Amino acid sequence: MIALARLAVLIALLALWQFAALRMPQGLFASPLETLAAAGVMLREGRLFAATAESLGVYLTGLGAAAVTGVTIGVAMGAVPLLGRTLDLFVNALAATPRVAFVPLIIVVLGLGMSAKVFIVFLGALMPIILNTAAGVRAADRDLIEMARSFGTSRARVFTEVVLPGAVPFLLTGLRIGATIGLINTVVAELYTAVTGLGGLLAVYGGSFRMAEYFVVVLTLSLIGVCVTEALRHIETRLTRWKGQGQR
């Protein structure tokens, strides 16, 4: 049912896209068929594959580093109330600050290479992961904790077998949000540093109004975002299956 509904929405979007292309002046807006033809050319020439591989390298490296760091800090903030209250103000301040504001400083310190791009992605994805992980640890089921302690379960085991499993949905929500922001920051990083990858193609095709190729890059970025978020959603479903079984 969901698949059919999504297919219907996709068909409607393609119809609206085609209608908009017909209404716009020739050459200013590419139709779906023109975009598909441009994608074929870009794939045959290897431009799209090379740019996608470069952007994915930056994106996944930055996101992976943000996931490890964010989960570690978030768990510590949630588990140690004093630490959480101390760092919460600073984490929220950084989360509210546009990441673009840090780009000139990052370029000064790290230059225009791979490390600067990865750090920009890392910085964008980090805050949602920290905040959601900490919230998940704090939201642990107190009744389950008290029940486990009443059976003489050690604090370490309560934490690993009750608190952390309960925080998984929060953690993965943070990862999904971080993955989305990280993908946006990948494009920002490629535009502000060395103009390469998919961000570089966006700049080149957008600046020359080659709209068919431009739409190919936009759709490629959208596809990457969908694949990553759906993979995380699938992981969440598998990891939280025990919750549904416990409620039956």
| Structural domains in the chain, sorted by start | 32-247 (1.10.3720.10)
Q: What is the model's pTM?
A: 0.83
pLDDT at position 248: 45
CB 34 within 8 A of CB 26: no
Cα(180)–Cα(178) distance, rounded to whole angstroms?
5
Residues 150, 152, 157: CA angle, nearest 5 degrees: 110
Give the tens place of pLDDT for each residue, 107-158. Answer: 888 887 888 899 999 998 999 999 999 998 888 777 777 777 776 677 777 7
Cα(160)–Cα(139) distance, rounded to whole angstroms?
14
